[in-house]
């Protein structure tokens, strides 16, 4: 019974109609992403309502810094997911086991390392971002407490990546439902009752991360399938680590270096004062709900392409990408327009100050109508990484998005006539569109190499 119960959460992505399976895979991912965003949204809403605009700016302005430090190891979780999915598609139980235990060991090492760096580097890094004097003390406190929970954060994300690799997106949703509820309740208690301000919301977030970590690890330990976690087997398998690193390290470097442009943009926003920072933080948080829906299609493309690549299903790998691209366009346009339509009401949930809402709407009206371009760009990256090619999309993304934004800020935005928030935000859609076009050209080249590898692997199997 246990074996059958565990397998009902898994999915064979190499057979059957693609769209229904992609939607079945993506649906729980969207809800999971929304719950993860509610962690930060609950922090922002509670401090914005009960602690004021300065605390709102302090919490909201830390996202780009946190991502800068976290994304390198989070990228390795992408590599872990690809390796486990590929070995699953190839029917290699031993390879799956080695990938699982290498991934969890990497998560422990990464969580401790990033936690130490983030805790001790918080103040100097926030000073480099030109955080205003009325914000920096609160922001430093929030970041330091947040990074104390980094080992738990890493272990949950690597564990969830392993579950996604075998098609299980439902149980991470269940676990985050529990921890998300705890997060919201603790936010309200610690901020409203105990008046702990940003420290309260940071503590609530860490407690929630610990709960979700415990649940996902118990799930892996109790699994009777090839993803079973045995603490006695923890360690680094050289081949698995090389494959995880080959795919995940470029993804992590891309995420971290990509965050540099976002840190630079946040620094530019900071120069307009704490009210503009608060409006930017609220709008950015709302955009995150649209992004997480689009990102679920990136995750689907990555995982479906990996399993089918491992199974040698050349035609189906192509079909995965085009199905995900069409879906992400619809999702991005529809959800983006809905958030714009209800923008004033949604922003007022975070803070009722008319100036905060005005600054939030300024960002929202530029970003959201074009947000689907970001989704298209990410899906293309997911396809290439799913086939084992991660360096090419990293280079393209860093050049087309990161570098282009930096050049934009250093040139156009720096001109007195164009030194406005509007011109700053326009850098987003410009970089998304340019990067997608370059990614598409890269994909055409990568696809030929990947399909040649699949043909060679089939030939080797036949000869053997």
List the chain domain ranges. 16-452
Q: Which residues contact 107 (CB under 8 A, 6 or more apart)?
A: 73, 77, 151, 154, 155, 157, 158, 159
CA-to-CA dists, residue 451 to 108, 308, 462, angstroms = 35, 11, 17
Let me know: does 13 contact 304? Beta carbons within 8 Å.
yes
Whole-Å CA distances, 252 to 9, 35, 226, 257, 287: 28, 23, 26, 8, 22
Instruction: Say what angle helices 197-222 and 170-188 make with each other, to 10 degrees.
Output: 150
Q: Return all residues near 18 (Cβ < 8 A) that are at least 6 apart.
A: 304, 316, 319, 320, 323
User: Is 348 exposed, middle or buried, given 0-12, 13-18 or 19+ CB atoms closer than 10 A?
Assistant: middle
**φ, ψ at 194 (rounded to 5°):** -100, 0
The pLDDT tens digits along the chain (464 residues) read 334 455 677 888 888 899 999 999 999 988 888 777 776 667 777 888 888 878 878 887 787 788 777 877 788 999 999 999 999 988 899 999 999 999 999 999 999 999 999 999 999 989 988 888 888 999 999 999 999 999 999 999 999 999 999 999 999 999 988 998 898 899 999 988 998 989 998 999 899 999 999 999 999 999 989 999 999 999 999 999 999 999 898 888 887 777 677 778 888 888 888 888 889 888 988 998 899 899 999 999 999 999 999 888 889 999 999 999 999 999 999 999 999 999 999 999 888 889 999 999 999 999 999 999 999 999 999 999 999 888 888 888 888 878 888 889 889 988 988 889 999 999 999 999 999 999 999 999 989 888 888 887 666 554 44
- 237 near 100, Cβ under 8 Å? no
Residue 200 token pair: 């309260």
In the chain, the N- to C-terminal Cα span, in Å, equals 37
CA distance linking residue 325 with residue 304, whole number of Å: 13
Find the length of the chain: 464
Cα–Cα distance between 49 and 66 in angstroms, integer?
Answer: 23
214 contacts: CB under 8 Å, gap ≥ 6 = none
Distance separating alpha carbons of residues 441 and 435, to the nearest angstrom: 10
Q: Provide the pLDDT for residue 464.
A: 46
At residue 459, the pLDDT reads: 60
User: Is the CB of residue 152 less than 8 Å from the CB of residue 111?
Assistant: yes
**Cα 355 to Cα 347: distance, rounded to the nearest angstrom:** 11
The answer to whether the predicted template modeling score (pTM) of the entire model surpasses 0.85 is no
Q: Which residue has the tokens 């992403």?
A: 33
- C-alpha distances in Å from residue 210, one per residue of 22, 274, 306: 30, 32, 30
Q: What does the alpha-carbon distance between residue 422 and residue 419 come to, in Å, rounded to a whole number?
A: 8
């Amino acid at each position: 019974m246990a074996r059958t119960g565990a397998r009902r959460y898994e999915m064979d992505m190499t057979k059957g109609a693609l769209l229904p399976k992609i939607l079945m895979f993506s649906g729980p991912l969207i809800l999971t992403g929304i719950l993860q965003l509610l962690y930060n949204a609950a922090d922002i809403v509670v401090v914005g309502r009960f602690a004021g605009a300065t605390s709102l700016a302090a919490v909201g302005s830390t996202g780009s810094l946190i991502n800068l430090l976290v994304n390198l190891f989070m990228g390795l979780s992408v590599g872990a997911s690809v390796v486990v999915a590929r070995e699953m598609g190839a029917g290699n139980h031993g390879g799956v086991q080695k990938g699982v235990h290498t991934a969890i060991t990497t998560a422990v090492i990464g969580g401790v390392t990033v936690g130490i760096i983030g805790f001790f580097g918080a103040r100097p890094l926030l000073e480099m971002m030109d955080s205003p004097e009325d914000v920096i003390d609160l922001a430093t406190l929030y970041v330091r407490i947040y990074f104390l929970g980094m080992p738990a954060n890493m272990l949950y994300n690597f564990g969830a990546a392993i579950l996604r690799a075998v098609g299980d997106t439902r149980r991470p949703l269940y676990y985050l439902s529990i921890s998300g509820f705890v997060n919201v309740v603790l936010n309200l208690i610690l901020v409203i009752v105990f008046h702990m301000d940003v420290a309260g919301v940071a503590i609530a977030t860490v407690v929630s991360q610990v709960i979700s970590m415990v649940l996902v690890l118990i799930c892996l330990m109790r699994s009777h399938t090839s993803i079973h976690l045995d603490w006695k087997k923890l360690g680094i398998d050289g081949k698995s680590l090389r494959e995880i690193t080959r795919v995940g390290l470029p993804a992590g470097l891309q995420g971290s270096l990509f965050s540099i442009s976002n840190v630079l943009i946040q620094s530019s926003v900071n120069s307009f004062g704490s009210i503009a920072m608060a409006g930017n933080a609220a709008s950015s948080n709302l955009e995150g709900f649209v992004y997480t829906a689009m990102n679920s299609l990136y995750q689907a493309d990555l995982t479906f392409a990996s399993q089918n690549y491992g199974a040698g299903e050349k035609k189906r790998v192509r079909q995965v990408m085009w199905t995900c691209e069409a879906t992400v366009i619809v999702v991005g346009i529809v959800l983006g327009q809905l958030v714009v339509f209800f923008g004033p009401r949604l922003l007022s949930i975070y803070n009722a100050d008319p100036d905060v809402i005005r600054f939030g709407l300024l960002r929202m009206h530029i970003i959201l109508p074009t947000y689907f371009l970001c989704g298209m760009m990410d899906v293309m990256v997911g396809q290439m990484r799913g086939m084992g090619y991660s360096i090419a999309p990293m280079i393209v993304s860093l050049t087309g998005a990161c570098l282009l934004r930096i050049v934009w800020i250093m040139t156009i935005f720096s001109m007195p006539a164009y030194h406005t928030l509007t011109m700053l935000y326009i850098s987003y859609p410009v970089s998304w569109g340019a990067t997608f076009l370059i990614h598409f050209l890269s994909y055409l080249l990568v696809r030929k190499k990947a399909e040649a590898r699949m043909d060679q692997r089939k030939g080797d199997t036949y000869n053997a």
